Every structure is written in structure tokens, then in C-alpha cells.
A and B are shown apart, each in its own frame.
Chain A
Amino acid sequence: ETGVTQSPTHLIKTRGQQVTLRCSSQSGHNTVSWYQQALGQGPQFIFQYYREEENGRGNFPPRFSGLQFPNYSSELNVNALELDDSALYLCASSGPQTGKWELFFGEGSRLTVL
């Protein structure tokens, strides 16, 4: 059984650019959530995907968008990057075997916006 994997692990972008982050969910998990964690703070919920549909969204602007694919992997896209978007982006999956409330997190993608 593979865990949650995220790519890339680190990346640097400049203000105004676009970025795509990828997440492969744990085997058998059909729900993927994305969180943003600024340095020294707790994670903030961005959105959740279930069966390829957005299933809840936090207080993030529309330039944060996502996708979930038939194999339950997911992408987070951020357009028009701002300096404040610099953060660790965490993907978490959950599924029927483990219960929907227990999340399994990947190691994150650390984004730096210059």
C-alpha cells in the first residue's frame, strides 16, 4: 500500500506566474483535500475533491483551482501568484476503509514566490 505522494517537493516561481502541484492519493482513497500552511502557522483548508467533484471550499480566491482524476489523483493550480502564496501545500487523502475524518497527508510541496 503506497502512501500519499506529492510533486514537486520544492519549487520557486515569480509573482504573476502560474503553478501546478500534483498529488497521488493513498491506495483505495477516493477523497483528496488540499491545505496551505504558511511558515509558523497551522494548515488552512483550500478545498476537497470527491469523485472528481469539488466537495467543499475554504476561504481562498478563484485563482486557486483544482482537479481530481478518475484514479483519484489530484492537482492544485494557482494562477497569478502573489508573494503571500509562498507556503507549504499539503495534500491529504481519506477513504471508506479508514473513515472520512482520518486524513493521510503527503510530505507537501514547498512553494516560494519571489
Chain B
Amino acid sequence: SQQGEEDPQALSIQEGENATMNCSYKTSINNLQWYRQNSGRGLVHLILIRSNEREKHSGRLRVTLDTSKKSSSLLITASRAADTASYFCATVAAGNKLTFGGGTRVLVKP
């Protein structure tokens, strides 16, 4: 079973627009991470936000975390064609495993 659920499942935007995707989870967490995957290949770590943090930035990425609502959002600003990929949230609760959601498929049209 998957801890996180991303919304929307798919997103299509024009280059230069912002892309926002959300992740909801069920149990208390230690941290939440976002990963990118291009065309069924390996995952690339984007950003980690700890349970005591509310917002984090990395380049064109902005992540928020609301532990009271058990939700997170990932914003990609000024999107580029190269941002076309699937984006996954992953939570860390007890133990050492990451629990991934089902992903949001983002298409950035030039």
C-alpha cells in the first residue's frame, strides 16, 4: 500500500507557467521528500523537508509541508520542457524505508 497520494495524477502546462502538485499522507512522518523520474528511469532526489519545517526552497522548487493536514505541495516555477517527468512524494515514518505515492505526470509543452 502507498502512504502518499499525489494530486493531480497528470498535469499539462505551457513552458514558463508554474506547476503545482500536492501530496497527502496518512501517518506521522519524520520527513517528506520529492523525487523526479524521467520516462521510467531512475529517480532523482529533489528536496527533503523535515516534519518541523513548513517551507523549503531549492532553485525553482518550493515545497510546503502542513503536518496538521498531513499534506505537502511542490511548486515548480517558470517551467521548462526539461521539467517534463513524473514527480513522486515519499515519506519517512519509523524505520528506514521511503513510502512513495503514485506520482504526478507533468508535461511541459514548448
Known A101-B33, A107-B41, A107-B42; contact A42-B97, beta-carbon cutoff 8 A: no
Question: Which residues 14-29 in A have Cβ within 8 Å of B in the complex?
Answer: none
Q: How far is the CB of B41 from chain A (nearest CB, A)?
A: 5
CB closest residue in chain A, given B47:
A102
Please state if A45 and B99 are interface contacts (CB–CB under 8 Å). Answer: yes
Question: Which residues 76-114 in A have Cβ within 8 Å of B in the complex?
Answer: 88, 90, 92, 100-108, 110
Please state if B45 and A100 are interface contacts (CB–CB under 8 Å). Answer: no
Q: How far is the CB of A30 from chain B (nearest CB, A)?
A: 13
Which of A31, A101, A105: most chain B Cβ within 10 A?
A: A101
Please state if A101 and B31 are interface contacts (CB–CB under 8 Å). Answer: yes
Which of A45, A88, A106, A110 touches B98 (beta carbons < 8 Å)? A45
B74-95 CB mask vs A (1 if < 8 Å, else 0) is 0000000000000010101001
Please state if A33 and B45 are interface contacts (CB–CB under 8 Å). Answer: no
Please state if A42 and B2 are interface contacts (CB–CB under 8 Å). Answer: yes
Which of A39, A40, A50, A105 touches B42 (beta carbons < 8 Å)? A105
Which of B35, B92, B102 touches A41 (beta carbons < 8 Å)? B102
Q: How far is the CB of B104 from chain A (nearest CB, A)?
A: 10
Please state if A33 and B88 are interface contacts (CB–CB under 8 Å). Answer: no
Please state if A45 and B48 are interface contacts (CB–CB under 8 Å). Answer: no
- Give the bracket for the number of chain A residues in contact with chain B: 20 to 34
Please state if A88 and B96 are interface contacts (CB–CB under 8 Å). Answer: no
Which of B33, B42, B97, B102 touches A58 (beta carbons < 8 Å)? B97
Please state if B98 and A103 are interface contacts (CB–CB under 8 Å). Answer: yes
Please state if A56 and B33 are interface contacts (CB–CB under 8 Å). Answer: no
B59 proximal to A (CB < 8 A): no
CA distance A44 to B90 in the complex (A): 10
Please state if A43 and B102 are interface contacts (CB–CB under 8 Å). Answer: no
CA distance A4 to B41 in the complex (A): 13
12 CB-based A-B contacts, threshold 8 Å: A31-B96, A42-B2, A42-B88, A42-B101, A42-B103, A43-B88, A43-B100, A45-B98, A55-B96, A103-B43, A105-B43, A106-B42
